[in-house]
């Protein structure tokens, strides 16, 4: 038995997903939007990037289903639950989570990375790991062969899973596998999706196969599996990117359009506001706001029942602060575009017919700014994922107990100067972050091209 736990960030994430689903259903009934998204669906690169983003989102959603485990109790005792809050991803990765070592170990290693004194003797050597490679026993001559066999089994499992999925799709569509894999066949990008899924399933199969006997990406300073830490960091990056954008975007759109269309003293006030904010160094402003919020959290410990709620409060505070300090660039861009749009014939015709200001902004200005809004949304998502890493690196990001790409990099930075260098924590965080940001940017390019009125003219 478990006790479900709903954190504020979980609730906001689920509300966001519900809103996206509702908007997708609404867009299907709008011919211009349906045509624009149809162009995105026909773009092979965009759909490959969307498939990668979907894989990250699935991991983030699994890590957002939190619960508290029930503690063992004697008959007649009241039911009690653990203080620690876990997630569905923790349950799936329980083997990686529990198989901790003493300290650093390299990827796929069988021994620790540093020499230690063995027993009471003065001899120093590399101790065997408690979990990594223990199935090999004392004879390590078959280590390379065992790794190769596990990689082969993982590839076979990934291909088998992919073939099952492809067969179900082909049976549903009544087409052959060759026709499905042909990129652009029938005016769709199904082939790009399935080729991307094949790569994802291969990596998944290899990770599962190797993870059963080794630490795929090694371990960190306290012996935690780096692959587990990398997967746990995905949720933090997604939350920072999405929730911060939701805070920033309405403010930027409203103020940008008002400044560009209304003009006068409204334009002067808004320009003064975002010019003043832009003149303050962003890192210093964010650091000051985060530290003030941390003081509030520290002085009110009774607000939080668990440490997870406390860490979640700082994460939400960081999203709010980033959103309130990062809207200026988008607002300036929208103001400039609105200044141009208000001089066009269709806007002046609407004014001549007596259409109100807000109706013109809603019906004529905003739709012609949507390509800028959408591209800014996805591009800002990428920038905010990187911003979290930088802020956590300097110590003003998420709570230290929250696993993120920034905390991984911050933990690994001091080990880059040692000899031999510990490189795998930094490489894993960079690799996952690079894949997430690259997929978001490629998808953003396709969305921009599809929604830009000039490209469809």
Are the C-beta atoms of residues 104 and 133 closer than 8 Å to each other? Answer: no
Q: Taking 60 as the threshold, does the pLDDT of residue 186 lie above it?
A: no
Per-residue pLDDT tens over the stretch 135-182: 888 878 888 898 999 999 999 999 999 999 988 888 887 877 777 777
> 125: which DSSP letter?
E
- Work out the pLDDT band at 201, boundaries 50, 70, 90: very high
Output the six-digit token pair for 58. 């699935």
The per-residue pLDDT for 452 is: 67
- Work out the pLDDT band at 227, boundaries 50, 70, 90: very high
The crossing angle, in degrees rounded to 10, of helices 370-393 and 307-325 is 130
The crossing angle, in degrees rounded to 10, of helices 190-211 and 44-62 is 40
Of 315, 307, 236, residue with least CA distance to 85: 307
Task: Tell me the backbone φ, ψ of residue 86, rounded to 5 degrees.
Answer: -110, 175
First vs last C-alpha separation in the chain:
59
Per-residue pLDDT tens over the stretch 257-281: 998 888 888 888 988 888 888 887 7
Q: Taking 80 as the threshold, does the pLDDT of residue 407 lie above it?
A: yes
The per-residue pLDDT for 179 is: 73
The per-residue pLDDT for 228 is: 92
Please give the share of the chain, as a percent, with pLDDT higher than 90: 15
Contacts of 49 (CB under 8 A, 6+ apart): 438, 439, 440, 442, 443, 446
Mean of pLDDT values over 35-40: 82
Quote the CA–CA distance of 136 and 110 in Å, as a whole number: 9
- Work out the pLDDT band at 291, boundaries 50, 70, 90: confident
The per-residue pLDDT for 121 is: 63
Quote the CA–CA distance of 286 and 276 in Å, as a whole number: 15
- Work out the pLDDT band at 185, boundaries 50, 70, 90: very low
Residue 28 host element (H or E): helix 8-28
Per-residue pLDDT tens over the stretch 343-377: 888 888 888 888 888 888 888 888 788 777 877 77
Contacts of 448 (CB under 8 A, 6+ apart): 371, 374, 375
> 235: which DSSP letter?
H
- Work out the pLDDT band at 229, boundaries 50, 70, 90: very high
Per-residue pLDDT tens over the stretch 84-94: 888 999 989 88
> What's the distance, CA 271 to chain centroid?
32
Q: Taking 80 as the threshold, does the pLDDT of residue 45 lie above it?
A: yes
SS3 content of the chain, % helix, strand, coil (to 5): 70, 5, 25
Of 433, 382, 381, 383, residue with least CA distance to 407: 433
Radius of gyration (Cα) for the chain, nearest Å? 26
Contacts of 380 (CB under 8 A, 6+ apart): 241, 244, 245, 248, 326, 330
The per-residue pLDDT for 204 is: 93
Mean pLDDT computed over every residue of the chain:
83
- The residue that leads in pLDDT, 367 or 52, is 52
Highest mean pLDDT among 117-121, 147-151, 280-284: 147-151
Per-residue pLDDT tens over the stretch 16-33: 888 888 878 887 887 877
Per-residue pLDDT tens over the stretch 293-341: 878 887 888 877 777 888 888 888 888 888 888 888 888 889 988 888 8
- Work out the pLDDT band at 457, boundaries 50, 70, 90: very low
Q: What is the pTM of this model?
A: 0.86
The per-residue pLDDT for 423 is: 86
Q: Taking 90 as the threshold, does the pLDDT of residue 450 lie above it?
A: no
Mean of pLDDT values over 230-242: 89
- The residue that leads in pLDDT, 437 or 457, is 437
Mean of pLDDT values over 64-80: 81
Q: Which residues of 158-175 are buried (b: 16+ CB within 10 A; e: fewer)?
A: beebbeeebeeebeeeee
Are the C-beta atoms of residues 443 and 378 closer than 8 Å to each other? Answer: yes
Of 96, 8, 9, 20, residue with least CA distance to 60: 9
Mean of pLDDT values over 375-395: 77
Quote the CA–CA distance of 65 and 48 in Å, as a whole number: 27
- The pairing of strands 86-87 and 124-125 is unpaired
- The residue that leads in pLDDT, 22 or 282, is 22
């Amino acid at each position: 038995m478990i006790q479900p736990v709903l954190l504020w960030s979980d609730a906001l994430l689920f509300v966001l997903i519900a809103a996206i689903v509702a908007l997708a259903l609404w867009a299907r009934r709008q011919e211009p939007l349906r045509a624009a998204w149809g162009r995105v669906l026909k773009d092979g690169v965009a759909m490959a990037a969307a498939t990668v983003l979907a894989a990250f989102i699935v991991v983030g959603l699994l890590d957002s289903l939190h619960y508290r485990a029930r503690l063992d109790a004697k008959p007649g005792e009241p039911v009690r639950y653990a203080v620690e809050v876990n997630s569905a991803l923790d349950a799936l990765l329980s083997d990686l989570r529990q198989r901790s070592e003493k300290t650093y170990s390299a990827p796929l290693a069988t021994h620790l990375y540093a020499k230690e004194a063995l027993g009471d003797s003065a001899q120093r050597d590399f101790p065997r790991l408690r979990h990594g490679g223990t199935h090999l026993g004392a004879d390590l001559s078959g280590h390379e062969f065992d790794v190769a066999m596990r990689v082969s089994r993982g590839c076979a499992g990934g291909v088998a899973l992919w073939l099952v999925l492809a067969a179900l799709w082909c049976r549903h569509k009544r087409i052959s596998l060759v026709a499905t894999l042909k990129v652009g066949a029938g005016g769709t990008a199904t082939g790009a999706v399935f080729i991307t899924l094949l790569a994802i399933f291969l990596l998944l199969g290899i990770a599962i196969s190797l993870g059963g006997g080794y630490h795929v990406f090694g371990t960190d300073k306290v012996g935690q599996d780096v692959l587990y830490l990398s997967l746990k960091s995905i949720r933090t990056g997604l939350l920072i990117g999405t929730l911060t954008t939701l805070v920033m975007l309405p403010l930027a759109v409203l103020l940008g359009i008002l400044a560009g269309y209304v003009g006068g003293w409204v334009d002067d006030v808004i320009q003064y506001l975002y010019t003043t904010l832009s003149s303050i160094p962003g890192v210093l402003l964010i650091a000051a706001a985060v530290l003030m919020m941390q003081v509030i959290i520290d002085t009110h410990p009774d607000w939080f029942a668990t440490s997870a709620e406390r860490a979640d409060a700082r994460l939400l505070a960081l999203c709010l602060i980033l959103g309130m300090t990062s809207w200026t660039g988008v607002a300036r861009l929208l103001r400039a575009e609105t200044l141009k749009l208000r001089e066009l014939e269709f806007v002046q015709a609407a004014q001549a017919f007596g259409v109100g200001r807000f109706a013109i902004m809603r019906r004529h200005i905003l739709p012609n700014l949507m390509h800028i809004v959408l591209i800014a949304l996805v591009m800002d998502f990428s920038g905010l994922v990187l911003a979290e890493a930088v802020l956590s690196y300097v110590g003003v990001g998420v709570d230290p107990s929250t696993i993120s790409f920034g905390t991984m990099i911050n933990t690994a930075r001091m080990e880059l100067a040692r000899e031999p260098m510990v490189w795998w924590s930094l490489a894993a965080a960079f690799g996952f972050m690079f894949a997430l940001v690259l997929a978001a940017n490629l998808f953003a390019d396709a969305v921009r091209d599809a929604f830009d009125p000039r490209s469809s003219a």
